[in-house]
Amino acid sequence: MVDLRTLETFVEVANCLSFSDAGRRLGVPASTVTTRVKSLEARYSVRLLDRSTRTVALTAEGQQFLLHCRRALKEMSLADEIIGRAQKASGQVRISIPTAFPKKPFAEIVREFRSLYPDISIKVFVDDRPVSFIEEGVDLALRGRAPGSDSLIARHLIDTEIIFVGPLGHINDEGLPILRPIAKGSSEINRQEGLATGSFELSLEFVISGQARAYLPRPTCQEAIKGNLLEEGEGPDGPQEPLPLFLVYHDKYHQTKRIQLFKDFLISAFTKNNAKM
């Protein structure tokens, strides 16, 4: 890859049409300017500048190359500016996550974010209630099938597979109740089954302890399946629709820099780790 200083040197020579003037502007000897330009011409096997003892002029190839160099340097300048602003971002971001949301991967996302932006603090609310962004001062929220009102933006992040699990060797035991914590009204006890909960974590424990079978998100059960604490099979309700996850927030034009940074980081993290979440 071409050194950035070499590109800057070529552009300066093209602007000045003088090796010595370009050297003075860059604070380097004219011989260094000449060496850098020659290295570019050697790299691409093309003459970029016609020069004599008195004049310097761009060749046709040099003119085309200059256009691309200026664009590249402009993009680099914008990138430097963005990163510079990002590193100066500070303050607190308040985010609400569901009670059943896997805490370990979320904690890792926060750790990685704060290693990049140590001046930004993250306050996490664990709650399933609809979020009042203004009254509660929440900036972002992770939500499932009911992401929020029309006044909010709900960015779809991932879909999580729902599987049917049961105690090891008893997944087809019809004497065990079936827990459906994702279903609406799942906290209501069915008298025929005698057991119900809206908690993924508690449902998992009921299954592991041999008290029930359940429909649960795959990430909730993954470690227990690997540890032979329960087994996966086909449930009586058939295949289940995946559980969606949304990132909910106000209009982006009302976001501070720190909120934009964390929002974009969350979107990127979920995109990369879709299979793990």
Query: What is the SS3 assignment for 61?
Result: helix
Using DSSP, state whether 217 is helix, strand or coil. strand
- What's the pLDDT at 250? 78
Residues 50/18, Cβ–Cβ less than 8 Å:
no
What tens-digit pLDDT sequence spans the chain (277 residues)?
678 899 999 999 999 899 998 998 889 999 999 999 999 999 999 999 998 878 899 999 999 999 999 999 888 887 777 666 655 678 899 999 988 788 888 999 999 999 999 999 999 998 877 666 666 778 899 988 666 666 778 889 999 999 999 999 999 999 999 999 887 544 444 545 678 888 888 999 999 999 999 999 998 898 999 999 999 999 999 999 999 999 988 765 557 888 889 999 999 998 876 544 4
Determine the pLDDT at residue 38.
94
165, 221 in Cβ contact below 8 A?
yes
Q: What is the pLDDT of residue 52?
A: 85
What structural domains does the chain harbor? 4-83 (1.10.10.10), 89-159+243-276 (3.40.190.10), 162-233 (3.40.190)
Q: What does the pLDDT read at residue 87? A: 57
**What is the chain's Cα-based Rg?**
30
Q: What is the pLDDT of residue 115?
A: 93
Greatest pairwise CA separation for the chain in angstroms: 99
Residue 100 identity (one-letter amino acid):
A
**For 58-84, what is each residue's pLDDT tens digit?**
999 999 999 999 999 888 887 777 666
Closest CA to 220 of 262, 174, 182, 251: 182
Q: In sequence order, which ranges of 129-256 are alpha helices (DSSP H)? A: 133-136, 200-208, 218-226
pLDDT of residue 211: 95
The answer to whether the CB of 56 falls within 8 A of the CB of 20 is no
Q: What was the pLDDT predicted at 276?
A: 47
Average pLDDT of every residue of the chain:
85
HSE-up (13 A, CA, CB side) for residue 77: 7
